[in-house]
Copies of this chain bind each other. A is one copy, B any other.
């Protein structure tokens, strides 16, 4: 069933071709994004402001606008070698199933036990915490992929890992919890009685099943209150996009080796870490005025921060304990419907991606309905084998749509998309799709207005 071509199904870089430095796209941006602000003083945050919450080295990375490349520490590179370089896969069977002249490639990040690209940043963050002599880190997790990745990373460096898991997720996904515990992490259902925030929430409503916003607040409180602990986050932040640039650097090196230049680069976008990482080196070309692909961010119709949100300063969490960031946002009070793509249910968007979109370098944002997303995921699974995470399947949907456009136009465009993870822990969503009970949701203007009303007035 293969086409007769010199390009293999899977392109692997050699171990010694693993990138030695992350690429900091922010250093090349024509217009830097607006700084993070202290929510109380509304003054730009400094490294000193961030140090009580973040590891010092990560605080520096967060504010680094100068260095285009930041060396990957050797210990992190060695961990990377256990599951990287990850392959760029030519989706020959998908091309054939679609009868498209397009050439479809995907960068596959699901081949590690965390099941997603989250491990790329988790291991870096755990390393810096370890180097600083910390005892442990705290974080929150919703769907569980970030919590799993961080648990693996902390297990490797012998760090204590405290994960606040949204209570309803912890109840619905006991096996996700068990995976994290296998890596020696401590999982606390949030809201919990271990923090002041949690106790307050429980006093108001003992049956509170939690939210990501509350879990973030608890994790930050515990980190700040505990000797030798810091808080870590799996997306949105500049430091995370920096670490995730490994995805794009590898993808570009692998495709360059075969003389392949993508015409279109597609990634799903929740907080923005995956797309930001995948497109980083290609965006570097764009910013340098070189030929570059057309970039598409894909988001769920139920949480359309880029396509229908406002470009404004907003809180990064619903609990308002985090800094204010200038970004595309639906408002921290926006409540997305119960989409199954948990990783894309974030009200805001990476400040870097937001600025690039605002300035027209990130060419397009497109929202898709989840039943269309799962239809694409099932086709993909049957012809390409891999069962994708619901988040990743958003990118599959648009890759297929673009390939079908090529079929109509007869153009042999080259499409690259990010397949960020696997769906083994998301089978409830596949069951809902297969049984016909899955619902699509497109918020009406009234719903959006309620969210917008929670955006603070800052400028």
Name A's B-contacting residues (CB within 8 A): 1-2, 8-10, 12, 14-16, 75, 78-79, 81-83, 89, 92-93, 111-113, 115, 152, 155-156, 174-175, 178-179, 181-184, 378, 381-387, 422, 424-425, 427-428, 430-431, 434
**Chain B residues with CB below 8 A from A111, complex form:** 111
Contact of A378 among B83, B89, B182, B425 (CB under 8 A): B182
A93-B156, A174-B431, A175-B427 given; name 9 further pairs at CB < 8 Å.
Answer: A1-B79, A9-B78, A10-B15, A82-B385, A113-B387, A156-B382, A175-B428, A179-B427, A181-B430
A387 proximity list for chain B (CB < 8 A): 113, 179, 182
A92 to B156, CA, bound (A): 13
Nearest-Cβ distance from residue A384 to partner chain B, whole angstroms: 6
CB pairs A–B below 8 angstroms (7 shown): A2-B81, A8-B81, A10-B15, A174-B431, A175-B428, A181-B431, A181-B434
Cα A422 to Cα B422 in complex, Å, equals 13
Q: A75: which B residues are within 8 A, CB to CB? A: 1
Task: Please state if B427 and A424 are interface contacts (CB–CB under 8 Å).
Answer: no
Chain B residues with CB under 8 Å of A15's CB are 8-10
Query: What is the CA–CA distance of A10 and B1 in the complex, to the nearest angstrom?
Result: 28
Cβ of A12 to closest chain B Cβ, rounded Å: 5
What residues of B have a CB within 8 angstroms of the CB of A14 in the complex?
Answer: 8
**Contact: B184 with A382, CB < 8 Å?**
yes
Residues of B within 8 A of A156 (CB): 93, 382-383, 385
A109 to chain B, nearest CB (A): 12
Chain B residues lying within 8 Å of A9, measured Cβ to Cβ, are: 15, 78, 81-82
Residues of B within 8 A of A92 (CB): 78
Q: Which of A184, A427, A431 has the most chain B CB atoms inside 10 A of its CB?
A: A427
Select one of B1, B113, B175, B382 contacting A385, CB under 8 A. Answer: B113
Residues of chain B within 8 A (CB-CB) of A183 are 381-382
Quick check: A386 and B184 within 8 Å, CB to CB?
A: no
**Across the interface, do A2 and B78 meet the contact criterion of CB distance under 8 Å?**
yes
Evaluate contact between A81 and B431: CB separation under 8 angstroms: no
Q: Is A382 in contact with B93, judged by CB distance below 8 angstroms?
A: no
With A1-B75, A422-B113, A424-B175: A384-B8 Cβ-Cβ less than 8 Å: no
The interface residues of chain B lying within 8 Å CB-to-CB of A378 are: 182
* B178:A430 contact, CB within 8 angstroms: yes
Q: From residue A41, how far is it (CB to closest CB) to chain B in Å?
A: 42
